[in-house]
Amino acid sequence: MELRRKLEILADAAKYDASCASSGTDKRDSRKGGLGSTEGMGICHAYTPDGRCVSLLKVLLTNACVFDCAYCINRAGSNVQRARFTVRELVDLTLHFYRRNYIEGLFLSSGIIRSPDYTMEQITEVARQLREVHGFRGYIHLKTIPDAAPDLLAKAGLYADRLSINIELPMAESLRALAPEKDAPGIRRAMGRMRLRIDEAKEAKRTEGRAAAPRFAPAGQSTQMIVGADAADDRTVLGTTANLYASYGLRRVYYSAYSPIPDASALLPPAAPPLVREHRLYQADWLLRFYGFELDEIMAGGEGGHLDLGIDPKLAWALKHRERFPVDVNRAPREMLLRVPGLGAKTVDRLLSARRHRSIRSDDLGRLRLPLAKLLPFLVTADHRPRGGLLDRADLRRIVAPRTGFAAQARPVQLALL
Ligand code: SF4
């Protein structure tokens, strides 16, 4: 098969992998020798319409797989054209695209060929050759195979900036039903081992110094959870996410909205808005991690264990807790300002800093390009107070909600593959 055709197939097959850019890794600069940098101008990123940032060379080693996970287009029983790169082809492609400044690095995943160990060896060999043979200093994210031998995963960490092991589904019982060859406890064990190695490398860097310490996945580990292939509600998804962050020190849990597979369409519900759900879950996850919200608070903004698809989770919470508003931007503590719809963490910090010197007025908020229509009903400034009764109006949601978006009552029911 022509290399170009392989690239078409294997780049397309990789689009189901959610991954994001080279954040948090070591700063390496090719001007000090070698090839490629992990930061700097001229490195290409791609942003998908739902805001995800992806590397342009995001490919699979192969889309052939001996496993038969029901939610996966590449499963053994799927009727798709198969392709496979050799290690050499992938190394050359990466270097070629990097030199042309098409990409900022490599995101490499794979179906399982022959065995988990063999596949992991092939994935790692690509990274090894890039680093050791070609002095490649760009970003490398490797998806690892949890069933592979622990020393193979450890070897991958020597070359990759970030490693990930997919948790796959929010509930272990769903994994048993939809991907019986996969082992939920085994996936968690592999994540636990990876965390230990990452923590050890960090500690060594602290005590021995950057140059002497052994390198292991400096950008940490992440995971991906497919949302919408089983019956897990948003509460379950967010609860599992919180547990993963706490247990394995993950840098990021990526959600991947389940994409209906053509030859399994009989099993799937029509017209679900999976990307909207994925987006709301990301927003909720952000509130849990950086805005001081508890899971119960976030879920109180929705109904029946699901987030409100029509509005963002912070606005949904605020509409159900109107007694907490309006908040005085010149007096309220940071934790309360973070709860005001339309105020992000960076904006809050800027406001806190500005108000030390003068009173914040509505014009100041406008200059920060904040969404005033959403914000002002919940906020008191030096020259503004929401007019009487506004916060009690039954149609407040209509006033503050964005014009576009899904109406909450139109939430389609996501049926399960189970
Ligand atoms: S192991 Fe991975 S590539 Fe293979 S069928 Fe399962 S999800 Fe798809």
168 φ, ψ to 5°? 75, -65
CA distance 361 to 375: 13
CA distance 72 to 103: 26
Pocket test for ligand 1, best of 10, 63, 75 (most atoms within 8 A of CB): 75
Q: Which residues of 22-53 are buried (b: 16+ CB within 10 A; e: fewer)?
A: beebeebebeeeeebbbeeeebeeeeeeeebe
- Determine the pLDDT at residue 46: 40
Tell me how far the alpha carbon of residue 70 lies from the centroid of ligand 1, in angstroms.
9
Is there an atom of ligand 1 within 6 Å of 131 CB? no
CA distance 122 to 223: 20
Helices (H), 209-337: 234-248, 274-290, 295-300, 313-320, 334-337
Nearest of 23, 117, 17 to residue 73 by alpha carbon: 17
Predicted TM-score (pTM) of this structure? 0.84
pLDDT along the chain (418 residues), means of 10: 89 73 53 60 39 66 95 92 96 92 87 95 98 92 93 95 94 95 95 95 88 87 92 95 96 84 48 76 96 95 91 95 95 97 95 96 93 92 90 89 57 49
* Amino acid making up residue 164: S
Is there an atom of ligand 1 within 6 Å of 67 CB? yes
- As given in the structure block, the two tokens for residue 408 are 């909450």
Residue 34 and residue 137 in contact, taking contact as beta carbons nearer than 8 Å: yes
- Determine the pLDDT at residue 13: 84
How far is CA 154 from its chain centroid? 23
Tell me how far the alpha carbon of residue 278 lies from the centroid of ligand 1, in angstroms.
21
- Determine the pLDDT at residue 56: 54
- Determine the pLDDT at residue 19: 58
**C-alpha angle 416/70/190, rounded to 5°?**
105
Is there an atom of ligand 1 within 6 Å of 74 CB? yes
CA-nearest residue, atom 1 of ligand 1: 67
415 φ, ψ to 5°? -80, 160
List domains and CATH numbers for the chain.
3-290 (3.20.20.70), 312-401 (no CATH)
